[in-house]
Each structure stands twice: as structure tokens, then as C-alpha cells.
Structure 1
Amino acid sequence: MTEIHTPRLLLRRWREEDLTAMAEINADPTVMRWIRDGSVLDEEQTADAIERWEEEWDEEGFGLFAVELLGSGELAGFAGLSVPHFLPELSHEVEIGWRLGRPFWGQGYASEAAHAALEFAVQDRNLDRVVSICRPENTASENVMRKLGMGLERETVSPAHGHPLRVYAIDLTEYQG
């Protein structure tokens, strides 16, 4: 089982007991406002998503980690790697992404988890490059991308929803962490 420990977090594979906490995160309109069309997800949709994330681990050898606080054992959300199938022009790439519940915002957890996932991409999966995608209004995620050393590569449009997207990227062949 793949686990990554950071000073404050445990990044790990998903467990059955994670469903309720992740469903609460996905049901928050403020959390979901920059995701797809901004719609919230219910518990069944969250269960389907977790199942897809776990399948990606089996198929690709990477995926989205459940992010747990070491101190309390609370599920804060997710961070990790995935193939961005929602954007066909990038379906040959690997995306680094994250989603945390609002109580965990503004404390550096997203940056800490994303940095650990980036280290995993380089050290464990030998990836040469990763991208990250966000809506232009999502300045908090853009700040995390910049902290990771990613640069704005281009702007595009979501084919499913028609809103603008920004694609950030980093070349990992010379990544120093």
C-alpha cells in the first residue's frame, strides 16, 4: 500500500470509512464552485468517484491519495495524480490536483500535500512532467501551483462546460524539490 508521510499529513489509499467525510466535502458548494460546472456531489456520486480513483491506481500506478491529518486522523480531502480525461487535449498528460474541505483551507495543507504528490511523481513514478488545471478565478489553487514551481503554459476552454481554464506545467527532469 502506498503511503506518504509529511510533517502534518498522511497521504494514503482510500478506505470505506472515508466516504462520509469526502461526501461532506463534495456537498459543499463553496468547495465545488471551481470544479466542473460547480455542482455538488452526493454520497453516491462520491462513492463512484472514489471507486474511479482507486481504479486509476490499479490501471496507471498512480492516483488521488486520501489526505488525512496526522494529529487527529480527520480526512481533509485528496491530493495526487490523475489523467485529465475531462480535457481531451491533455488526456496524454498526468495532472496533479487537490481538493480539501473548507475547515482545512488557509493552513498550508494543500501545498504540503501537493508537494508530497509531486515528489511521488518524480521519485516513485519517474514522470518527466505534470500539469495542473484550474479556472482563472481559482487564485488559491494557482498559488499552490506556483509554490510547486509550475508555470502557466496556456489557456484553454472546458469542452463540457465552456468556461476558461488555465494549464500550468512543470518539467520534472530537473526538479529539485
Structure 2
Amino acid sequence: MILSKTNRLILRNWEERDRDLFHRINSDDTVMEFFPFRRDRAQSDAMMDRMRAEIDRDGFGWTAAEIAATGECIGFVGLHAAEIVPVVPAGSFEIGWRLAPEFWGKGYVTEGAAKLLDFAFDSLGLNEIVSFAVANNDRSTAVMKRLGMKREAYFDHPGVPDTHPALKRHQLYRLAREDWKARQALSE
């Protein structure tokens, strides 16, 4: 099921052919540098099944990102109900991403995320979107800034074990619908 398209990407539900890539990005030390865990194949498969079911149910979620010209899945860019963290109100939605390293630095995340922000604000009628990352995850926070998100707070992520103190501190970014719309109007 195709959810959205950009100039270079198809954002779609997960397919059986994506399992190897999905496991690779969830077990790769470079991709998972800012996570306190790696997933084995069974854990990755179970997570992909949950994500696929969520997209089937809700019409959105952590969607597979595919290069339109080649049909190659490169990771995911998606919208999801925000995790329960101290600085995010219940009912909030987050935008996030994870790509295989060979696709980093090509603008895919920013392109896909911008399309999903349009969907979040126009189709879903959301008032704001949040995103968060480990405090020194400069690659992810650079994307947040390119999208027009503003850093609002630092917090210690309750889901990160105390055994990983370097990963506990996170930055929270927010983007309000009216700010996104103003940015879009300026770019037209």
C-alpha cells in the first residue's frame, strides 16, 4: 500500500521483501549508535509486523521508504503516536526516521519527512509534531532544524537504562502547524 510519494521516494507499508533491510538497520552498530540495544532477526521481524499492522489499521505509521526509481527500500520515515516521555503531552505525534548508512546525506529523510508533515497537518489535522533524539545526535537534529522544528527542551529519556548514561539525555524539538504552513507559503 503506497501512502505517499515525493520526487524520489515512495512511502509505503512494509512488504516481505523488506525484512533483510529492516533487520540490518535495527542491528547495525552505525545506524543504532544512539540506541541502547540492537535487535536480532526475530525481534526485527516482530517489530516490522507490528509496524505493518499499525499502518493497515491507522493509514500511517513508521512507513517504509523506497527509492521510486529503483524500488529499493532504504529504511523508514514515519509518523507515530509519541512515546510517553516527561515533556510530551499524551496524544502527541512524533516524526522519526532510520535509514541504512549508504543512503545518509542524500536528503531522503528531509524529503520524506516534509511530505509526512504535510500529511500530518493537512490530512490528519494535527496541531503540532514532535521529534526527539539523543542530545549529541547531530545528524538527526540537523534534519529537525531543516524541517523548521525548534528545540524546546532537554530531558532524560525514561526508556533508556541507567547503564547507558551517554544515551539518556535527549533533545525535544517541536513544530506547530501554523509555523509549517508559514514556511510552506514562503517557499511557494
1:47 aligns with 2:45: yes
C-alpha separation in 2, matches of 1:130 and 1:14: 23
Structure-to-structure mapping, 1:2-151, within 5 angstroms? 2-35=2-35, 37=36, 39-85=37-83, 87=85, 89-90=87-88, 91-151=90-150
1:168 aligns with 2:173: yes
C-alpha separation in 2, matches of 1:173 and 1:55: 31
- Checking the alignment, whether the CA contact within 8 Å between 1:19 and 1:47 is kept in structure 2 is yes
C-alpha separation in 1, matches of 2:24 and 2:152: 33
TM-score scaled by structure 2? 0.86
List gaps (5 residues or longer) in structure 2: 163-167
Residue 50 of structure 1 aligns with an amino acid whose one-letter code is: M
C-alpha separation in 1, matches of 2:86 and 2:50: 18
Residue 123 of structure 2 aligns with an amino acid whose one-letter code is: D
**CA RMSD, 1 decimal:** 1.7
Deviation at 1:2, TM superposition (A): 4.4
C-alpha separation in 2, matches of 1:174 and 1:138: 24
C-alpha separation in 1, matches of 2:13 and 2:159: 29
Greater displacement, 51-60 / 126-135: 51-60
Structure 1 runs, 4 residues or longer, greater than 6 Å off: none
C-alpha separation in 1, matches of 2:106 and 2:83: 30
List gaps (5 residues or longer) in structure 1: none
Deviation at 1:86, TM superposition (A): 5.1
| Aligned-pair identity (%) | 35
- Checking the alignment, whether the CA contact within 8 Å between 2:80 and 2:93 is kept in structure 1 is yes
How many residue pairs match? The answer is: 175
C-alpha separation in 1, matches of 2:179 and 2:142: 21
